[in-house]
Amino acid sequence: MAEKGQMNIDHLDGVVRLREEHEKVVKDCESRVLHWKKVSGDYEALNERLQTLPDQLTYDIMVPFGPLAFMPGKLVHTNEVTALLGDNWFAKCSAKQAQKIVNHRMKYVKSELEDLTKTMKNLKPELGEEAGNNDTAVSKGKQRIAHKPNSKPKLDAVLDLREDEENEGEGRDEESRKGILTEEELLWLD
């Protein structure tokens, strides 16, 4: 009997550990989704900027001159962009070519977001089911054992359903109607 109880406790520990691992994966997915949404927003802003840069040949700007000072200046060669190819490799390209690179990277970011949301959707229902079964699966205190068919239970757990001796003298009809009201009594209550 003790071996069976120990096996149930080990099984419950496994369920608790599985639930904790699921929660870790969901939290990790949520943090990665936030990261990829931020990256997607950055790429969208970059794409908008790349669309407006080639409109003019020069732009008047304030150039930082030290940590606290700015001086007026001009931006030239606004159609030239240095793009990161990966692994610290850069290439000079036009704004339109840079837009193509940004669009390609945005497709990758969207696919990553879709994969993460699918993973979260797959794991969240399992967490919901486990949370619903949490009350029945894990209980504190000692385990209760059902009584055998012909055994006598402890007297403190027995409820005496026999009628009181003082009610034995009354007729059976009154006892059976004890909780039932007649139509006249119902009208009187209204």
Same domain, 7 and 66: yes
List the beta bridge partners of residue 89: 86
pLDDT of residue 166: 47
Helix (H) or strand (E) run with residue 73 in it: strand 70-75
CA distance 98 to 92: 9
The answer to whether position 142 is within a domain reads: no
* Confidence at 54, pLDDT banded by 50, 70, 90: confident
CA distance 95 to 55: 11
The mean of the pLDDT values for the chain is 76
Query: Hey, is 176 helix, strand or coil?
Result: helix
Q: Assess whether pLDDT exceeds 50 at residue 27.
A: yes
Average pLDDT over residues 88-96: 91
The answer to whether position 144 is within a domain reads: no
Whole-structure pTM value: 0.51
Q: Please give the residue range of the domain that contains residue 180.
A: 155-189
pLDDT digits (tens, 9 = 90+) for 116-147: 999 888 887 766 555 545 444 455 566 666 66
Same domain, 124 and 184: no
